[in-house]
Structure 1
Amino acid sequence: MKRAVSLVSLLVLSSVWILQAVPVLSEPLPQENFDLCRFMGKWYELAVVSTCPHYMQRKRGNPVIVALELQHVASESNFTMTATIFRNSSCKQTSTDYSLTKTPGRFFHHVARFGADVDSFVVHSNYDEYAMMLLLSTEKPSGIKTTTVKLYSRTMSVRTAVLDEFKTVVRQHGVTDDAIVINQNKGDTHTLMLMIPGPP
């Protein structure tokens, strides 16, 4: 009997040790001392990876650089992101309103088309060169969750070191870096730059 009790105790202790040894992913942390004003302005979406197969299939089919313009009015609790993309020699623009949260560097928006709530985090940025974004979305009522990681740049290229750091961030959030789609300049660079104001 004592042996049985000892065995049970050993199993319980082992289970506790295993639970303590397994890292638990907490809520993502945005960039420390995030500065919203410095984050505004022109960006280019250069790379992206997502756990959503349909999204990734669409991105692989047309891996073009997306021009972004972020604008914020100081008195308002949201900012607007205008995305410009060229497809089949024609320009398409979409605008999304991002609500600010109590946590600097964390934003929220809703995608009506998919009934999805999206939490966005600026996980790392030096403001003048690049920004790495983590998007966690939940579709309703299905509850399907998707993780997306994006790399923004103030120009249409980034240093190899920045891309390597982006791959590390991707792996940290459970996505394989070999699935990353690198967006390409399809020759419309001049037009994009004329349409989007220069960096702040």
Structure 2
Amino acid sequence: MQRAVSAVSLLVLGSACLVHTVPVLIEPFILTQENFDLAQFMGKWYEVAVVTTCPHYMQRKRGNPVIVALELQHVASDGNFTMTATSFRNGSCKLTSTVYGLTNTPGRFFHHIARFGADVDSFVVHSNYDEYAMILLLSIEKPSGNKTTVFKLYSRTMSVRATVLDDFKTLVRQHGVSDDAIIMNQNKGVCVPGERVTQPVTAQPQIFVPKRWKRNTVLPVVPAREEYVGNV
């Protein structure tokens, strides 16, 4: 019997939608990538698109739709792998590291978010390993019982082909989520942990201030037949 999901990580950094959750059984139609290969899935990814039914997260993400850089590393002898994430938040580059446990189902992982006391299951639904990966997550909140669905599109580069994005939209629609709500993350440049984001300085308009005559300034002599026109 498949293990129940306690919560869903809307971001590697977590979300307020995870504060209260109860177990929910995984629907049988959720399938992971066929013949999933963990070794090929490791390495560097970029989270380039995301959509969820959690209004709080969608509002916050629209305010800062930035690409999240991910680095996945696995030691063959371990039953887990580490995901390091870097992204621009609140004017600086933030870094987090999360340990994912492997499960008996290839392409399905587990980790715990201590901040929310939440257990998280991740599913790799589709991936060709060298270009893209589509991730599906589910949750149900307590006491409202509201179900949250999350989809993420990973890419080996900071962009994806139009056909890959179309397939992602199809996957989203198949699970009852509107593809019109998909947020495309933006490339804000290389993120170096600890560095502040420098904002461009806007040039201030220069105001002309007339110079005053010094006390020892000799005024020009005006010929008797001419009129002096102007201001000193």
Instruction: Settle same-fold status: TM greater than 0.5.
Output: yes
Q: Are the aligned partners of 1:124 and 1:131 in contact in 2 as well (CA < 8 Å)?
A: yes
Q: How many Å separate the matches in 1 of 2:114 and 2:168?
A: 29
Q: Which runs of 5+ in 2 are unaligned?
A: 1-26, 193-232
How much is the aligned-residue C-alpha RMSD, in angstroms? 1.8
1:82 — aligned with what?
84
Provide the residue aligned with 1:56 in structure 2. 58
Q: TM-score, normalised by structure 2?
A: 0.67
Change (3 A) 1:140 1:96: farther
Give the partner amino acid of 2:82: T
Corresponding position of 1:174: 176
Secondary structure of 1:174 counterpart: coil
Structure 1 equivalent of residue 150 of structure 2: 148
1 or 2, which has the higher helix percentage?
Answer: 1
For residue 105 of structure 1, what is the aligned residue in structure 2?
107
Match of residue 18 from structure 1: none
Residues 40, 72 of structure 1: 8 Å contact kept: yes
AA in 2 matched with 1:79: F
Larger Rg, first or second structure (1 or 2): 2
Task: Pick from 118, 121, 133 the counterpart of residue 119 of structure 1.
Answer: 121
**Structure 1 gap ranges (5+):** 1-24, 193-200
Higher strand share: 1
Q: In structure 1, what is the equivalent of residue 12 of structure 2?
A: none
* 1:46–1:157 CA distance, 2 compared to 1 (3 A): same
State how far apart, in whole Å, the 2-side matches of 1:162 and 1:82 are.
Answer: 25
Task: Tell me the secondary structure at the aligned position of residue 166 of structure 1.
Answer: helix
Cα offset, 1:117, TM superposition? 2.5
* Structure 2 counterparts to residues 63-78 of structure 1, below 5 A: 63-78=65-80
Q: CA deviation at 1:88?
A: 4.7
Alignment partners' CA distance in 1, 2:79 and 2:100: 9
> Does the CA-based 8 Å contact 1:117-1:137 persist in structure 2?
no
Distance 1:142 1:94 in 2: 30
- 1:102-130 CA-to-partner distances (Å, cap 9, x unmatched) read 00001112223333332211000000000
Note closer, same or farther for the CA distance 1:99–1:27 as it changes in structure 2 (3 Å cut).
farther
Count residues in correspondence: 166
Aligned to 1:184: 186
